[in-house]
Each structure stands twice: as structure tokens, then as C-alpha cells.
Structure 1
């Protein structure tokens, strides 16, 4: 069913853009084939150089020149296989990439956590696409495919060649502190369809991708950055649910998979052993049973979930023993390389274990065209990664995600000439949403209530509402990452309950799970879900209110008994 519903939809698109830039055919067969360039580079590497190709180091460009220089020293001394970019500016990043590539005997893999594009790490200077939860509501996967192509174009223009995305974890736990809005939702087939479109777009654009976080981080309530989560589900449940998107996307040619740090007794009974260090999970399940032949990345090796029980470089050795190809962000790469070389001497690892991985990594670099590496051109860089066409696509994605719950009766009944109160809750100044509506509602007044408004603040607004014939309420979460609960005090929550019973139109610019923390909001006849507090979402919602857009999104998660997966008009 998935192949008919999704793969054929993108077959023509894939054929049209399959040979992009310096791509050299389908990735999986390519990296598992012998190539003269790979052999020629491999033969120049010392034993230590070969081990170093398995490691990727963290780099920032917003922490000062001394930090940038320190990374350069590590790369020149250790000759690592790649870097992972974090916060900084586009030009500074490009300058650093050029310098780091020049210092490396073997071209570097340059990776980025760009689940919503370059804006995930550079929000102040580049564009952010919607979070995956919003994308999960979209019914037109071709838009997500196009987003993947645009992200690939941005990344390659900056000199980045690997994106640690998409997230294909199935978020069926509203309390999940680490995945949540980063997931396409709770339905395994919807997650797979969206993940395929995003992955295929990026790969067709010439980018390596990495599905994450295998075997599935969606149903946890512990953040593996700070501790080791434990999944207590049966192997059957994991196989049929959590692993489903990975299995299907591996069949579709996924180039990479990132393995999570979770303890999963049903798959490996070793106490406190993270999945990333389990040979059974990485080699037997992922590579043999699921047939994955691409690049296997670990999640960051400096996370507490992996080093808590395996400190001082032991986690690095065990990650390679488990079958991983590339280790992201070792706590100390020089120590890790020494530990791996020692493990070879001790017989824990063989040189062939290392050589096979190195040749696959080099083949991936060859597929990316790094055999003819050129410096990143700094001219017009900012303009090139902030294109008008990308901004237009971003708005189309927001428009397509708009999800209308309950009924459209109140929206259709709005009269632009009547006295209208437009209330933004959770912010401290007039919102983009209010500005968008203000030009059309001739007789309106804007009100703003902070999430911690006092009883007097609320009473002042409430007393004014008797003067208005119609009320539009916007619920905002102005935090950078929209969580499952809103930071509203009890007074504000009670006022929202009262507004819901007053035939008010509600627009929610927050994590959809947040609706569960607003008892009584289900009384509102028209609730428009905008998923995040972003100008593009507020503009999209305003279009719906102004009847210039018909909402077509569907809830990607179940919120409570009132609002369930698939709801939307």
C-alpha cells in the first residue's frame, strides 16, 4: 500500500532530479561497489588515519576565534572524517568549512542537524521551515519533497553535505521531552509517507540524509541527552510500530540511519547498554534483519545516555564493535582513536572491521563529489540561502498545515464590519496575526495578555468584551521550542475557558498537545491549529479567518478524547 500511495507519487519527481550536481547513481549500490578513487585514497592512509575517518567533531562559529582555531588544530592533528556544525553565522560557517577542508588530507563530511533547515542552528540569519509536527498535518507530500530539494540546495551552497534528518520517530507519548514536535506524529504510515518525501527530496538534491533515532525514540519520557531512557516494549511491538518507518525507508534507499542511546531489554538484555552500543541492535537487527547497507551514525557520543555507564572512551570502542560506521561528537577523539587502536591489538576489533567502514565512508565522499572539492564561494552567500522562492514555499507549507477542528461555522459567520475584539494570549505585544486581521476588520480593537497576566489584567479585558459583537482569540507559545503544556497561569487558563463558551473563534499557535492542558477549550465551535508561534503560521491562520484559504490539514496526533488523530475539515 505504501509503495502505491507514496513511492509512485514521487517516481517522476525522482527521475527528473536523480542526477543532480555530482551524484553518481543510487547511493546504496554505489558505496558498496569498488572505486579507483576510493582505493587510491585508502592506500595513502596510515592505520591511525583510517580509524580517524570514523569520527566527526563538533564545531561552532559563534564561540570566538579561539574555539574555531582549536577545532582546526584537532582536525589537522587527528585528520578526522568529518565535522558537525552547530550555532554560528553563514559566512563564518563557510569560512570555517573552507579552512577545515584545506587542512584535511581527505575531504570532510560536513554535517548539520537541520530538521527544519539551516534555521535549526542559525535561526537569526537563515530560514526555518515548519517543525515536523506541522508537516505531519499536511496532506500534500509533494510540498515536503520540494522542501527537501530546497534544503539540499541551501546546504550544498554552504558547503554542508550531510543532514541529520528526517526524524522518523513515532511520537505517541505527549510527554516526550526530546522528540515531540520534531516528529511527524503518531501514525506510522503518515510518518513514513512524510519521511519518505523529505528524505527523497534531500537525496535527489545531492545530500546525504540520516533517519533518526533508530529503533525509535517516540515513546519515551526521558531525554537521552541527560540520562539513559529504557524502552520496555516487546520486540513484536518495536518491530511492528517503532521500526516500521525505518524498515520502509531503508527499502526506499535511505542513505543513513542514526542509532539512539536507549536501553531496550527485549532486544538486548545487557544491563544499562545503550542501543547504540549493542551489536545485536546495530548489526543483527538494523543491518542484517532490516537489510540496511548505508552509513550508520551514532547519536552524539557526548550525551549522558551513552557515557553515563561507559566512560573514558569505552563507549567509542563499543560503538564500533556494535557495527556503527561513523561516531558523532566523541568526548575526546584523540583518546577514542587510541582506544580503538588498542582494541585492535587486543583482538576485540580486527583491522578488517575498520577497513570496510573506511572504504564505505570514502565511497560516500566520492558519491558527494568531494573528489573534486571546491571552496565555498562567499560572494552573495547570504542572499543565495535566503531565496524568495524558498520563502514562498515556506508559506505554502504553513498554509497547507492549517487544521480546523470542530466547525467552520463561526469563521464563516464573521462580519468584517462588526465590532470585533482580537485577543492575543501568551505574548506581550501586538502579534503578526492581529496585524494581518486589522486591515480587514474595520471596527476592531487589539488586546494582549501575557501568559502571567494578573487577575486585574484579565478583568480589564473581560469587561471590555461586552462592547463587541464577535471575538477572535489567538493562543501563543512564544518559547523557541513549543512544549506540550503552555506556561499560562491559572487566571489566564480560566479566562480562556470562559472565552471558549462565548462563541469565540480560537487560533492556536502552539504545540497541539497543549490543547489538553486547557480544559473547556473544546467548547469553542471553531478552533484553528497553527502548530507553532511563527509569522508564517499566523499569516496562514489570518488567511483562513479572512476566507482566503480553506484549511486542509489533519491532526497528526491524538490530543485527548475531543481531538483525535486525523481530525480536521
Structure 2
């Protein structure tokens, strides 16, 4: 066990140094930047300066009335930025230009795009979830992904990505981070988050590493309630804070503060970390020396409004030291309350001035004053450019993890009669089509997640006629949780088929293995963490001997399948296929 952990950490530390060259961060202003910041700041009234700290929600799929309401808020409250959510890329590009045209100070435009624009927009690429990326051994691929996502951002006139997630997911029951994390090894999380971050920043896009000081070991979703972290300061320092400390030292331009109650850092009852001055100013800015943008998590979330309603949360977030207040429930009310807090001496005016100048400095660095390409008709083609699609497949290929059975993989025979079974689906899968193309004597079977006993019995009976069985387990949900939503009939079928010694391929959250004991007992087990066409093609290449596999498990899923596990699999050349090495 110690040897395996040592080898895993050694592999992480031997990655190519991606930080040999970096753009100068906005926190180190040159004379031109300082001049722009000062000239813009001097022209703004006091209320307009406060408005710079607030970022509004924006959509292009909610109709013109909603779009017009955002425009009115931009005009009346002089807000500093926008956060775009669902919609389409062409519509967003056009709407962004319209919003910029009515804003006296250029808006900083952001998006929560952890796996690229596809997280929010139609007709765009979805790169792998961070849990999938956590299996990859070549971090330069993740750096390249960051650069491609940054190019997409610039094409749409955006400047800030609320990514990467830097939480260590060491709680399999975590309902909100989970597959969004690079895993449960702090070194792996830090290295991969750094590669992603640098890819974005090297292309001129600001980041917001999240969710400070670490949301990975919670079993409550802060969208719905306030999580509580009852850990010691020593534990937080050694684990949760490790990636944030590392990324701040490497020049992170932004940090997003989570809504969590952490008594070891602030003993105030029911106080979210977002509203805690000891956490935002004391720990983040003073202890860790962070000079970039401190950004609140969405202020409309129940984790912060439950105990501080009616705009009080907004005021306390500013007092705590947040520079950017994201998605207030009522921006106009919040700006008024911040003004009142200054008059009542609850908040120092100098603190607001510092935050506003910092926001303006970030705007200058991100070139908000430059207009995006005016030709919106070519946007979809650009966002689906061949090199980006190719990279997406490379990432999928590099994440394939052979957990068990490399010897069986090497003796699988394409000419043998083979059953290719996909469960949890309703149609023939890409995986089945790709494998069948190389296995001429194969037949495909599909069973949905609510398969009837009659359907299951029919397939089980037919499987007895095959010498080779490939069993693919799919999770088609957009949010792949730690357990599969299969009915008991299908789960029993999986257990029965495993007794026939199949090759098992999992296209789901790796934590689902713990809920399927039979899968863990399988002689051959290949994992690719999520279910999409790229992942299915990648595993098919390994199964058909066209590609090696080098992925490593990014989380511990059971006592026998631990972080770092994975077999370096190399297929036998066709000339000697069928022989055991």
C-alpha cells in the first residue's frame, strides 16, 4: 500500500513543469494599467463604485423580458459584471455586445464553465468532468484544455471562468462536489487544478478557484442549506487548504468563497464562511497572502440567505472582504444597504475603494475594453473547431483506467462469438458499434435501467451461448451521482453476468462500484468515469487492442480499489494476438 501511494505521488510530481513561463498577473500592475484604473475610478460616483462589486445573472434562454430586466439593472445600478448561464452561443455573443454598449464602464463577463461552455450552452463542447481528468497522468493535456476553453471564452466576449474546482472530494456522499473534483488526493488535485488554471490564465482569462476553504468533505449541498465543517484547524491546514495555498502561490487571479459554517475558523453560530471576516480577510488575504479577486459564491443560495435574509448577507459579504458579490437576490437593495453600512461605520469606505480598484485592474488585464469578433454567424464553427474536438477525444483516451484483468484483455479474440451487452440504456450505444466493428461474430444486447424480469431472463438465457461477454454499465444522468438508479432486477442481472467471467466496462461515477459488489469481483474491470461518445470510443479502442490504457483511479471507492490504482495496459500487436505474455 505504501509503495503504491509512493509511486502515485512520484508520478504526479514528475509531471512536466507547466509554470516555467506565465503572464504577469493583474495583481502586479504596470503604469498603463494603473493609469486606466485611476482614470475610470475618478469618473465614477460613490454609488457607481459600489455597483462595480455586484455581478448579475444573465441568460439567453429565458426570453426578451428577462433580457430587458437585466439591461435595466445594468443601466440603473452600474454593476461591474455579468454571470451567464443557460442559452446559446450566438445569442449570448449578441446579447453581450448589447449589454456592453449600455454600460458606461465595460462589464466583466463570467461563466461557471468547469467542463467548458457545454456546461451551460448548447452547440458547444463539453470537456470531461474533473473527476475524469483526475485519472489522467499527463497534466499537459489539462493545460491544453484550459487554453482551448479560454479561446472559447474570448470568442464570446467573456473574461472570467469560475473554475477550476479545487476541492478535495474525500467524501463519497458529497452531493454537490463529487464528480466536479479532481479526486481525493491533495497533490493530484493541486497539480491538475494548477494545469487547468494556467491554461486559462496564459490565454488571458481570469479564474476563480473554488470553493474556499474546501467543500469536498460535506454531505450537505450549500444551494439548499448551510453545511458545517467540524474539523480542526490542523486538519484544514494539512488537507482542505493545500490546493488553495498551492494555487495562490502560483498566481491564481481569483478565489471563490464557499457558504460553509466552520467553527475552527470562526465560532460565530450559523455564520457562512462567505460572511466571515476572519476567513475571507484573515485567512485568505492575510495568512495566505492572496491579492486577487475574492469572489462570493452565489448569494441567492440558501446556504447564505437562510440565516441572513433581506440583504443582510450581501452587506456582511462585503464587510468580510469579498471583492465581488455574485448573484445577489436583489442587487439594487444590496447596493443601498452597503451605502448605509458605510454611513453607519460598519464598513470602511477605504475597503470598498480597494475592492473596486482591484476589479478595475482585473478588467484591464482581461481586456474588457476590446470588443469580441463581430461575426456571430461563425461562432458555432469556431467553438467546435477540429483541434478542440481532437483534444476532447485525447482527454477521454488518456483517462481510461484498467483496474483489473490486463491478462484477460490480452487474450480476448475478435473472431470468437461475443455478446456485447449495454445496461442502463434504451438504444444501441457508440461503444457497442465501435467494438462490433472489430468483432465480426458479435451480437448486441441492451437493457434499460427499468428492465423487466422477462427481458432480463431472455438475455441471460442467450448469453450462455457465447464464449466472450463484454458488459458495459452506463449512467445517462447529467449529474452522475455515487449510486446508480437501476432497479433491483437489473442489479441482480449484473451480478449474475459477472459469474460468467465477462469483461466489465463502467461508464459512470467511480463511486458506483461500491454499490455493485459483483462488479468489484469481476476478473476484468475497465473504468471511464462518465458516459458520453468520447468516453465510449476511448474504452472501445482499449477493448479492441487499438490503444494502451494509462489512467489511475482518482478516488478510493472500496478497501480493495484505492486512489492511484490502475494497470499500465499495452495491447499485444495483431501478429501475436491471442497469446498470453
In the aligned structure 2, how far is the partner of 1:264 from the partner of 1:187? 22
In the aligned structure 2, how far is the partner of 1:39 from the partner of 1:533? 50
Query: Contact 1:230–1:264 (CA<8 Å) still a contact in 2?
Result: yes
Give 1:90-489 correspondences, 5 Å limit: 90-122=89-121, 124-373=122-371, 376-489=374-487
1:459-480 CA distance string (max 9 Å, x none) = 0000001111110000000111
**Comparing 27-36 with 342-351, which one deviates more in the overlay?**
27-36
In the aligned structure 2, how far is the partner of 1:206 from the partner of 1:398? 26
Q: How far off its partner does 1:376 sit?
A: 4.3
Structure 1 spans left out of the alignment, 5+ residues:
19-24
1:208-263 CA distance string (max 9 Å, x none) = 00100000000000000000000001111011100000001100000000000000
In the aligned structure 2, how far is the partner of 1:86 from the partner of 1:172? 28
Q: How far off its partner does 1:379 sit?
A: 3.6
In the aligned structure 2, how far is the partner of 1:390 from the partner of 1:299? 29
2:211 alignment partner, SS class: strand
Q: How far off its partner does 1:6 sit?
A: 6.9
Q: How far off its partner does 1:374 sit?
A: 5.0
What is the TM-score normalised by the length of structure 2? Answer: 0.94
**Comparing 150-159 with 492-501, which one deviates more in the overlay?**
492-501
1:170-219 CA distance string (max 9 Å, x none) = 00000000000000000000000000000000000110001000000000
Query: Contact 1:500–1:520 (CA<8 Å) still a contact in 2?
Result: yes
In the aligned structure 2, how far is the partner of 1:26 from the partner of 1:481? 34
Query: Contact 1:157–1:376 (CA<8 Å) still a contact in 2?
Result: no
Q: How far off its partner does 1:26 sit?
A: 2.7
Query: Contact 1:475–1:506 (CA<8 Å) still a contact in 2?
Result: yes
Q: How far off its partner does 1:284 sit?
A: 0.5
The Cα RMSD (Å) is 1.6
Given the alignment of the two structures, is residue 30 of structure 1 paired with residue 29 of structure 2, yes or no? yes
Which residue number corresponds to residue 510 of structure 1? 508
Given the alignment of the two structures, is residue 9 of structure 1 paired with residue 17 of structure 2, yes or no? yes
Q: How far off its partner does 1:293 sit?
A: 0.4
Q: How far off its partner does 1:372 sit?
A: 3.9
1:305-354 CA distance string (max 9 Å, x none) = 00000000000000000000001000000000000001011011122111
2:351 alignment partner, SS class: helix
Query: Contact 1:436–1:539 (CA<8 Å) still a contact in 2?
Result: yes
Q: How far off its partner does 1:31 sit?
A: 8.4
1:20-52 CA distance string (max 9 Å, x none) = xxxxx3332228997111111001100000000
In the aligned structure 2, how far is the partner of 1:295 from the partner of 1:478? 37
Query: Contact 1:133–1:184 (CA<8 Å) still a contact in 2?
Result: yes
Inter-CA distance 561–48: structure 2 relative to 1 (3 Å threshold): same
Given the alignment of the two structures, is residue 490 of structure 1 paired with residue 488 of structure 2, yes or no? yes
Inter-CA distance 376–215: structure 2 relative to 1 (3 Å threshold): farther
**Comparing 388-397 with 345-354, which one deviates more in the overlay?**
345-354
In the aligned structure 1, how far is the partner of 2:149 from the partner of 2:239? 28
In the aligned structure 1, how far is the partner of 2:32 from the partner of 2:15? 25
In the aligned structure 2, how far is the partner of 1:162 from the partner of 1:131? 19
In the aligned structure 2, how far is the partner of 1:326 from the partner of 1:560? 41
Inter-CA distance 439–36: structure 2 relative to 1 (3 Å threshold): same
1:351-404 CA distance string (max 9 Å, x none) = 211111111110111111223445643141111111110000000000000000
Inter-CA distance 392–346: structure 2 relative to 1 (3 Å threshold): same
The number of residue pairs the alignment matches comes to 559
Structure 2 spans left out of the alignment, 5+ residues:
1-8, 568-581
Inter-CA distance 353–33: structure 2 relative to 1 (3 Å threshold): farther
Q: How far off its partner does 1:561 sit?
A: 1.2
Q: How far off its partner does 1:440 sit?
A: 1.1
Which residue number corresponds to residue 22 of structure 1? none
In the aligned structure 2, how far is the partner of 1:448 from the partner of 1:374? 46
Q: How far off its partner does 1:524 sit?
A: 1.1
In the aligned structure 2, how far is the partner of 1:557 from the partner of 1:11? 26
